[in-house]
Chains A and B, each alone.
Chain A
Amino acid sequence: LYPHSLRNIDELCASIVRSHRETSQYRVEELHALRWKLFNREEIQAYQSKSVDEMWQHCAIRLTEAVQYVVEFAKHIPGFRMLSQNDQIALLKTGSMEVVLVRMSRLFNTENNTVFFDGKFAGTEVFKSLACGDLITAVFDFAHGMCALKLTEQQIALFSALVLINADRPCLEDKGRVQRVQRSVEFGLTHILHRDNQESLMHKLYQRVAVLRSLCSLHMEKLRWFSQRYPLTAHSLFPPLYKELFA
């Protein structure tokens, strides 16, 4: 698992980058071409006039789709499939949402503060009927901060893998084994940053990890609030995978 030569590190990085590319919902060039395709006033109003539970259900479906791509990404990270099934589940349970948020920064246009959602770029106002403006603002701020780092696709791939493979997650059976995979991914990211002459990014990326934690706990807090208010929607209409991971 632990890369012993430069060639091994290159192979590890190449596998992670390939997995990232093959499991990304949208390609960078595709998104770039669509970057000025914005929702018009009527479309924004249609989202805003949805009820709270309708919009939550809609976003839960979109989020679940994104999580499924992250599961596929994880499967091709070298060493991931050698972990026990319990530990694979434990890592995805806590890490999948964080990787979705990292990936979201690829879908973000900093010039007009919009994110690609449902086929067009949407500002925070599109998500108004979720009734959790603080979470939406925090998520947009995070994407803005990530974009400011101007990461390459390779750097995003390695960082996503590092976010996922974290030996400090709860419920792990074999922490040591996860730690070994984590070290190899860390090695890969360090190698790529060194090659790109951007070693100073490592510190900034670790700062982003702390923000990801707080965003995920805010998401859970909002979900608890929603489930108390709309138990039927949360219980019967949310995608089963969303409930499994977050409820």
Chain B
Amino acid sequence: LKEKHKILHQLLQNSTS
């Protein structure tokens, strides 16, 4: 799923404020 959902993966990786 990671390969097909790069944007979602990126959003999940981003540190949250």
Residues of chain A having any CB pair with chain B under 8 Å: 68, 71-72, 75-76, 85-86, 88-90, 92-93, 171, 240-241, 244-245
Query: Secondary structure of the A side of the interface?
Result: helix
Interface residues of B in 1-17 (CB under 8 A from A): 1-2, 4-9, 11-12, 16
Considering the chains assembled together, what is the distance between the CA atoms of A85 and B5 in angstroms?
11
- Contact B12 A93, beta carbon cutoff 8 Å: no
Chain B residue numbers with a CB within 8 Å of A90 are: 1
Inter-chain contact A245/B1, CB cutoff 8 Å: no
Report the nearest B residue to A242, measured CB to CB.
B7
A71: nearest chain-B partner, CB-CB: B11
Give A75 to B8 CA distance when docked, in angstroms. Answer: 12
Distance in Å: Cβ of B14 to nearest Cβ of chain A: 9
Could you say which residues of chain B place their CB within 8 Å of the CB of A76?
16
Subset of 15 A-B contacts with CB under 8 Å: A68-B11, A71-B11, A72-B16, A75-B16, A85-B12, A86-B1, A88-B12, A89-B1, A89-B9, A93-B1, A171-B1, A241-B7, A241-B8, A244-B6, A245-B5
Asked if A71 meets B12 with Cβ closer than 8 Å, knowing A241-B7, A244-B6, the reply is: yes
